[in-house]
Amino acid sequence: MAWSDEGKVFPPYAYTDSTVFAKDSELLLSEWFAVGRTTDYSPGAYQTVELVGQPIIVWCGDDGEIRAFENVCRHRMSILAQDSGECQYLTCPFHGWTYESSGQLRSAPKVDKNLLQGIQLPEFQVEIWLGFVFVNCDRNAESLASKLKGVEKLVNPHEIDSFTFSFMQTSERVVNANWKLMMEIGLESYHFPFVHRETLAPRLTGTSDSPAGNGAWTVSTEPRKQPLAPRDDDPSALTDHERNTTYTFGLLPNTVFNIDVDNIVWFSVLPIAPELSSVIYGVAARNEHCVRPLGGTEIVGVDEYQAWGDRLGAEDNAMCERVQKGLRGKHAEPGMLIRDAENCLYEMQRYLESHIPNYPESTRS
């Protein structure tokens, strides 16, 4: 019998065991995850991330093409770039080997140019979906479009691909918690009245409905407490129900989008170790005049919004760290899943089971 048939959260070892984490890592390195909006990557702009030890650089060339490479020099294997920045060429800080935005080695001190041909940074898959940039480290993985089949009809009324404003938290936040805990808290709203008393509870009801999912993604909805009046720039296809509902869309296994009428908060969880993860996040809006806290009615400035987002993230992260400590309790054991409020966690369990047979039992040492 599959673990998901038990109707319980995963057992503690699923969040602490190194062998379980190794299997998780195998899966994550073959999956799509978000790394920002196309508007976050002007020509020359780059962002570095690390996924279960795999260094990645996402870099927009002068030609406007966004590519992703292994962020490791082909000479002595130093990390090439850190954090985010902008450059026409990327130079290794160790010996000065310099790369073009196509990944091709351009120059190397004391090396004949004829020897540079064919020296190229390994490239990963990149796909764009509704203006979001996704990366997959597996060059043979199925396309993102096939994985997202069926979801666009749910989000198309928001016209997300026309959003013109975005910002991205360019430094990863490190959290002392397993990556699955961070995904689980991002997918459900059962915790809103308790963890987010001031940030989300005043705006959203905390009563979640899970209307759809195809095994690779989940969608749940949250009604807005205070109705939002129509705006002149609302998409023509948007209904009153859609205007006053937020959608939590989880692209499994490690990306979440919170979709409001005219803005989106997104994040990707990047595991580091069994009990250590980082998260990158950002926001997108129809335009710079539509930036409002999730579920809110008031328009705020970017700085105020970012402060709100930082607080929201800190609340979730602190709770994940509390749970991670609790997993070490002598009598800690799996509790029941509340299907009316935590169905997306059940869907995440099913997803992991479908990719790793007998999960999580088969992964234990």
pLDDT at 212: 57
pLDDT of 298-339, one tens digit each?
888 888 888 888 899 999 999 999 999 999 999 999 999 998
Q: pTM for this structure?
A: 0.94
Q: Which two tokens stand for residue 355?
A: 């990719």
Task: Name the segment(s) of the chain with CATH classification 3.90.380.10.
Answer: 3-30+148-363
CATH architecture of 3-30+148-363: Alpha-Beta Complex (3.90)
- Quick: pLDDT tens for 119-177: 999 999 999 999 999 999 999 999 999 898 888 888 888 899 989 989 887 666 899 99
How much of the chain, in percent, has pLDDT values that exceed 90? 66
Pairing of strands 66-70, 123-129: antiparallel
What's the pLDDT at 362?
Answer: 63
Please give the pLDDT value at position 220.
87
List, for residues 280-298, the tens digit of each pLDDT value.
Answer: 999 998 888 778 888 888 8
Predicted local distance difference test score (pLDDT) of residue 31: 98
| pLDDT the model gives residue 116 | 92
Between 91-95, 212-216, 235-239, 281-285, the lowest mean confidence (pLDDT) is in 212-216
Among 58-62, 120-124, 233-237, which is the least confidently predicted range?
Answer: 233-237
Residue 249, judged by CB atoms within 10 A of its CB (0-12, 13-18, 19+), counts as: buried
| Residue-wise pLDDT tens digits, 3-43 | 999 999 999 999 999 999 999 999 999 999 999 999 999 99
User: Of 268, 248, 253, which is closest to residue 215 (Cα–Cα)?
Assistant: 253
214 near 231, Cβ under 8 Å?
A: no
**Placement of tokens 């195998």 in the chain:** 26
Instruction: Name the pLDDT band for 207 (thresholds 50, 70, 90).
Output: low
Note the pLDDT of residue 363. 59
Q: Is the pLDDT of residue 208 over 80?
A: no
Tokens standing for residue 356: 């790793």
Residue type for 25, please?
S
Cα-only R_g, the chain: 21
- Whole-angstrom distance, CA of residue 33 vs CA of residue 49: 11
Confidence of residue 365 (pLDDT cuts 50, 70, 90): low
Q: Is the pLDDT of residue 229 over 70?
A: yes
Nearest to 141 by CA among 355, 360, 348, 363: 355
Residue 206 vs residue 191, higher pLDDT: 191
Q: Which residue has the tokens 């088969």?
A: 362
CA distance 197 to 186: 16
Residues 89-121: pLDDT tens digits? 999 999 999 999 999 999 999 999 999 999 999
Going by pLDDT thresholds of 50, 70 and 90, the confidence category of residue 213 is low
Query: What CATH number belongs to 33-140?
Result: 2.102.10.10
The pLDDT assigned to 255 comes to: 97
Q: What is the dihedral of CA 304, 306, 307, 313, to 10 degrees?
A: 150
**Is the backbone peptide bond immediately before 360 cis, with ω within 30 degrees of 0?**
yes
SS3 for the chain is: CCHHHHCECCCHHHHCCHHHHHHHHHHHCCCCEEEEEHHHCCCCEEEEEEECCEEEEEEECCCCCEEEEECECCCCCCECCCCEEECCCEECCCCCCEECCCCEEEECCCCCHHHCCCCECCEEEEEEECCEEEEECCCCCCCHHHHCCCCHHHHHHHCHHHCCEEEECCCCEEECCCHHHHHHHHHCCCCHHHHCCCCCCCCECCCCEEEEECCCEEEEEEEECCCCCCCCCCCCCCCHHHHCEEEEEEECCCEEEEECCCEEEEEEEEEEECCEEEEEEEEEECCCCCCCCCCCCCCCCHHHHHHHHHHHHHHHHHHHHHHHHHCCCCCCCCCECCHHHHHHHHHHHHHHHHHCCCCCHHHCC
Q: What pLDDT shows up at residue 194?
A: 94
pLDDT, one tens digit per residue, over 72-89 is 999 999 999 999 999 999
CA distance to 212, 213, 248, per residue, from 223 (Å): 16, 19, 11
Task: List every span in the chain annotated with CATH 2.102.10.10.
Answer: 33-140
